[in-house]
Amino acid sequence: MKRRAVFTLDAEGRVDSWSEAARLATGYPAEEVLGWHLSDLLAGGVEVAHRVLTGAETAGDHEEGASWVGKRGAGFQANVLVFALRDGAGLLRGFAAVMGEADESWRPSGARGQDVVEGITDAFYALDRGWRFTYLNKTAERLLSGSRETLLGKNIWEEFPEASDLKFHREYHRALAEGRTVQFEEYYEPLEAWFEVTVYPSEEGLSVYFRDITRRKESGERLDQTLKELADLKFALDESTIVAFTDQRGRITYVNDKFCEISKYSRNELIGQDHRIVNSNFHPKDFIKDLWRTIARGRVWRGELRNRAKDGSVYWVDTTIVPFLNSRGKPYQYVAIRHEITDRKKTEEELRESNALLNSVIEGTSEAIFVKDLDGRYVLVNSAAAEIIAGRPCAAGEVIGKDDTQFLPAGVARPLMEADREIMASGETRRVEEEVPVKGAVRSFLSTKAPYRGDSGEVAGLIGVASDITELKKAEAALQEIREAERNRIARDLHDEVLQDLTYALQEVQLSGTAATPEGKGVAGLKEAEAALNRSVRGLRSAVHDLSLEPDAGGPFRRSVEALVELNRQMNPGCRVDLEVHESFPGELPGKTSKELLRVVQEALANARRHSEADRVKVFAGTDRVGKLRVEISDNGKGFDPEKVLAGIGTRAMRERVRALGGDLTVTGAPGDGTRVTAEVPYGADGVAEAPAQRARVLLIDDHASFREGVASVLRAQPDIEVVGQAGSLAGAREALASGPPVDVAVIDLGLPDGYGAEIIVSLRAANPRAQAVVLSATLDRAEIARAVELGAAGLLHKASSMAEIVDAVRRLGAGETILPLGEVVELLRFAGTHKEQEQEARRALESLTDREREVLALLAEGLDAAEISARLHISAKTERNHVSRILSKLGAHSRLQAVIFAARHGAVEIS
C-alpha cells in the first residue's frame, strides 16, 4: 500500500476523524466508522489494539505490522503507526494513526508529525502569542476560505473581525491566559457554519483543531424539533385519547393517563394484565374472536367496545387496534387507540327510544301526518297519510320520495303544492280546509301545516297534520237543515195560529173597552188585559222573527241589520234605537259571518229590550285599525255588577258564535251605567273571514320530548286549542309560565326529572287563577293521584290514554268543565289526608328506634344474617335477637324482611 491513510482516535481509542485516504483503503465511509474502536478495524482485535495504544501512550509512538479488516470482510496487510497527542499540561488527548508501509520517513521526526496533521480530517491551525497564523493545514484552508500564502503571518482578529464578538475571541484569550485546553461550539455567520473547536495552549501560542459540525447541529435541531413534536403529540393523545400497548399475547405493557382515568385502575394494576380486566361481558364470544383473528393476521381492527371500570361503571370506547409487525410479518405487539363515546351511545339509545315512541304516537293516531321537503316530495308519512295519498292501503315506502302529482290529478295536485310552497316561503303556520279525491270520492280535510327548519335555522320543508272532516261536515249540514226546518215550522205555527188568536183577542178587548158602562166599571181590568195582550203580541212577533231569521249566504249585512233595528224599534216604541254603519264596514259578508254577527246583534238587542230598562240603544258596525270587524251594541239602561251577575245562556251563546268566527266578545257594564256588548272578528284582505283562532292555550310538561311533540301535533290540529309552550322539567315549566304567553290548561307528567310534576300547579294558578291542570300518570297509584288532586289537579289520565281522550280532557277543562266527579275528588282528598297520617305514624315509629337499633336495621337491609350482625357489631347472639325483637315491635312488623321493607319504603334504609 503506497498511500498512507491518516485518522485520529480519542483517548479511549475510538475513531473521531477519518480521512478520504482511510475510506479508500478500507471501504468504510466516515459516517459509518466514526465511533468505532481501533480493535474493530484490526484483525487481531482487542489484543493488538491494546498493545498499539499502550505502546504509543508509553513511548509517544508505536509501529508494527497489522492485518486490517476492510468493508464486506475484505482484509489487507499494512503497518499501523500511532502517535500519542497530549495537551499543554501533558495530558493524553487522543491518538493520530497512520495506516501504510513502514520506511524511514515514518521514524519519529517533525516532518512525520506534520504529515499526520495534514492527513487528519480536522482543520488545524497554529497561532503565536501575537495572534498571527504560523501554520494551517489543507482542511483549515478549505473551511476558512483562505490560502496559506494570504493568512500566514496575519492577525486572526484582523482577518476575521466578526469573530471578535463571539466565543472565539473570549475562549482563545482564556486558553492562553489560563494555560489550559478549552473546547466550545460556535456559529460563524460569514461562513454560515457551526464549528466544534479545541484549543491547546503552549509556550509558542495556540494550536487550534476545529471541524464543521453544521450538519450535526442541524440534525440535532431537527431531532429536538421531532422530539418536541412527539412530546406535543403525546400530550395531545394523553388529553384526548386512551392509549394502551400489549405484547403478542395481549398482556398490557403500557397505558397512558387517560386509560387509568377512565378505567379507574392505577397503572400498576393494569401493567401485566390483559384486557379482560375491563371486559364487561357485553359482547358475544364470536365478536371477541373476530377481533383477535383480525389483528393476529396483521390487519387493523376498528369497532366500538363496551367496557367496565374498576368501580363497576360502564363506558363505551371507539377503538382502533393496530398490530406492529416484525421482519417476518408477524405481530409482536399491538397498540389500541380509543376515544370515549359513552355520551354518544346514551344519546343514540335515547334517540332510538324517542323515535320508537314518536313512531308509536304517529302511527297510533287516526290523523294523517306527513312531512315534505322543499320540492314537495314526501319524506315521512304515517299509515293514515299513506292510504289517503295513494288512495288505497299501502306501505309508507310507496309514498316516500314522491310528490302529489304522482297520486292526484294535476288540477288538484298543483294548487296543493303551490299552497305548501307559500307556507314554506312565509314561515307561518296555517290551518286550511282542503278537498282531495280519495278512492273515487271527494273528501274534506282540515289540515294544519307549518314549515320545519333544519339545524341551520333555514326552512327545510313542511310538516302537516290532516283530519278527515267529511262526515263531520255532512252531519253539520244535516243538523243545520233540521234546525232550520224546525225553526221555520215553529215560527209558522206561532204566526198562523197563536199570534192570530192573540191578535183577535186583543181586538175584542179593545172593542169591549169602548163599550164600557158610563160608570167605567170593568174598564181598568180591560186596560190591564189589553196591555198584557200587547206585550204578548210583541213578544211573539219577536220570537217569530228570532226563529225565522236566516240571511241568505253572502247577503248584504247592512240591509239585514237595518231591518233588524227597525223591527226592534217597532217592538219597543218607548226606546230609541240608533244604527251607525261606518263606511269602512264591508257591504257584503260571507254567509256564515253575516249570520253569526246578526245573531249577536239580535241577542244583544233582545237583552236590552227585556232587561236593561233603557230608553236609548245604539248599534255600531265598523272596523278597527288592524282591519278587524267591530260590532258594538250599547245602552243607557240600569247596567249590572260583573262580580255578582253570572253570564246567562244568551251571553254564552253570543260568545260561542264570535269564537266560532275566530273573534272575541266582551260584555262590560256597571250598575246605573248601562251595558256594552262588543264583538271583534278577524277579516281577511280578500274579503273572506279568517280561520277561527285557537282558544284553549295549552302548556305541555313532560320530560319525553317525542311524547310532547306527538301530543302537540294532535292538539295543534284542533281549531279551538293552541299549544303555547312546552317544557321538560319543573324548572322549564316555571320559566315558561313566568316569561311565556298566558296558559289556560297544563298537561303535566307527574314523573319529572327535577321533582313531582303536580307541584307546578301552584305556579300555574299564580299566573292564571282560572287555569286548570290535567295530570298524566304511568301507574295510577292512588296515593300519587290523591297528592295531585290535593295540589289542585282537575283531571287525571293514564299515560297510555288515547290522543282523543287527551284532546277531550283539554277541551273540557278549557271550557270550564270538570273531569273528576265531585264525590271522587272528596274521596281522594280524604285518602290523601289518611296517607299523610300514615306517613307521620311511620316517621314517628322510625324515630323511636335507638341508635343501636338503627344500626341493626341497616345491617338487615345489607342482607346480613343474625351471626354476621353479631360479629359486625361485636355483640352476642342474644343481644342481637333482643334488638330485632324491639325493632319488630316498634315498627309493627312480623318478620325481619317486613321491617326492612317498611324502613326502605319510608327512606330509612337502602336495600343492597
* Greatest mean pLDDT range, 484-498, 546-560, 752-766: 752-766
Measuring CA to CA, which residue among 775, 777, 698 is closest to residue 743? 698
539 versus 908: the higher-pLDDT residue is 908
Of the listed ranges 37-41, 136-140, 233-237, the one predicted with least confidence: 233-237
Q: What is the average pLDDT across 268-295?
A: 92
Q: Is the pLDDT of residue 1 over 80?
A: no
**Neighbour-count burial of 650, counting CB atoms closer than 10 A to its CB (0-12 exposed, 13-18 middle, 19+ buried):** middle
Q: What is the average pLDDT across 391-412?
A: 90
342 versus 829: the higher-pLDDT residue is 342
Which three cell numbers, joined as nine digits, stand for 392? 288505497
CA torsion sign, 521 to 525 to 528 to 533? Answer: negative
- pLDDT at site 553: 40
Dump pLDDT digits (tens) for 774-797.
Answer: 888 776 666 777 777 777 788 888
Domain range list for the chain: 5-216, 241-340, 347-468, 475-681, 696-831, 848-905
CATH superfamily label, 5-216: PAS domain (3.30.450.20)
* Greatest mean pLDDT range, 415-419, 525-529, 556-560, 860-864: 415-419
Dump pLDDT digits (tens) for 58-99.
Answer: 888 888 989 999 887 778 888 888 888 875 567 887 888 888
- pLDDT at site 11: 87
- pLDDT at site 110: 40
Q: Is the pLDDT of residue 547 over 60?
A: no
- pLDDT at site 120: 54
Q: Is the pLDDT of residue 109 over 50?
A: no
User: Strand 252-255 relative to strand 242-247: parallel, antiparallel, unpaired?
Assistant: antiparallel
- pLDDT at site 686: 41
Q: What is the average pLDDT across 752-770?
A: 86
Contact 831, 838 (CB under 8 A): no
Residue listed under C-alpha cell 197563536: 498
540 versus 402: the higher-pLDDT residue is 402
- pLDDT at site 35: 86
- pLDDT at site 571: 79
- pLDDT at site 822: 45
From residue 493, give the alpha-carbon distance in Å to each of 329, 502, 684. 109, 13, 41
Measuring CA to CA, which residue among 337, 277, 271 is closest to residue 308? 277
- pLDDT at site 314: 93
User: With bands split at pLDDT 50, 70 and 90, how would you rate the model's confidence at 494?
Assistant: low
Q: Is the pLDDT of residue 188 over 70?
A: yes
Q: Is the pLDDT of residue 106 over 50?
A: no
Q: How many angstroms separate the CA atoms of 54 and 361, rounded?
A: 98
User: With bands split at pLDDT 50, 70 and 90, how would you rate the model's confidence at 767?
Assistant: confident
CATH value of 347-468 in 3.40.50.10440, 3.40.50.11440, 3.65.10.10, 3.30.450.20: 3.30.450.20
Phi, psi of 253 (to 5 degrees): -110, -15
CATH superfamily label, 696-831: Response regulator (3.40.50.2300)
Phi, psi of 572 (to 5 degrees): -135, 70
Burial 179-203 (b: 16+ CB within 10 A, else e): eebbebebebeeeeebbbbbbbbee
pTM of the model: 0.35
Assess whether the region 475-681 and the region 696-831 belong to the same CATH fold: no
**Neighbour-count burial of 72, counting CB atoms closer than 10 A to its CB (0-12 exposed, 13-18 middle, 19+ buried):** exposed
Q: What is the average pLDDT across 256-273?
A: 93
Contact 302, 295 (CB under 8 A): no
pLDDT, averaged across the chain: 82
User: With bands split at pLDDT 50, 70 and 90, how would you rate the model's confidence at 534?
Assistant: low
Question: CB-based contacts of 224: which residues, under 8 Å, 6+ apart?
Answer: none
User: With bands split at pLDDT 50, 70 and 90, how would you rate the model's confidence at 691?
Assistant: very low
779 versus 448: the higher-pLDDT residue is 448
**Neighbour-count burial of 773, counting CB atoms closer than 10 A to its CB (0-12 exposed, 13-18 middle, 19+ buried):** buried
Residues in the chain: 912
Dump pLDDT digits (tens) for 630-674.
Answer: 999 999 999 887 766 555 546 777 887 888 787 888 899 888 889
Dump pLDDT digits (tens) for 868-898.
Answer: 899 989 998 889 889 988 998 888 877 787 7
User: With bands split at pLDDT 50, 70 and 90, how would you rate the model's confidence at 471?
Assistant: confident
Dump pLDDT digits (tens) for 356-381.
Answer: 777 777 887 778 899 999 999 999 99
User: With bands split at pLDDT 50, 70 and 90, how would you rate the model's confidence at 821?
Assistant: low
User: With bands split at pLDDT 50, 70 and 90, how would you rate the model's confidence at 301?
Assistant: very high
β-partners of residue 97 are 7, 82
Of the listed ranges 337-346, 392-401, 802-811, the one predicted with least confidence: 802-811
- pLDDT at site 108: 38
- pLDDT at site 902: 80
Which CATH number does 848-905 carry? Answer: 1.10.10.10
Dump pLDDT digits (tens) for 569-597.
Answer: 887 888 999 999 988 888 788 877 888 88
Of the listed ranges 88-92, 214-218, 256-260, the one predicted with least confidence: 88-92
Q: Is the pLDDT of residue 17 over 90?
A: no
Q: Is the pLDDT of residue 271 over 90?
A: yes
- pLDDT at site 111: 42
Which CATH number does 475-681 carry? Answer: 3.30.565.10
Q: How many angstroms separate the CA atoms of 727 and 740, rounded?
A: 11
**Among residues of the chain, what percentage have pLDDT more than 90?**
28
39 versus 526: the higher-pLDDT residue is 39
CA 630-631-632 angle, to 5 degrees, is: 115
User: With bands split at pLDDT 50, 70 and 90, how would you rate the model's confidence at 728?
Assistant: very high
CA torsion sign, 882 to 884 to 889 to 890? Answer: positive
Q: Is the pLDDT of residue 549 over 60?
A: no
Dump pLDDT digits (tens) for 116-137.
Answer: 555 555 788 889 999 999 888 8
β-partners of residue 696 are 721
Statement: 241-340 belongs to CATH 3.30.450.20: yes
Q: Is the pLDDT of residue 181 over 50?
A: yes
Q: What is the average pLDDT across 749-778?
A: 85
Q: Is the pLDDT of residue 486 over 90?
A: no
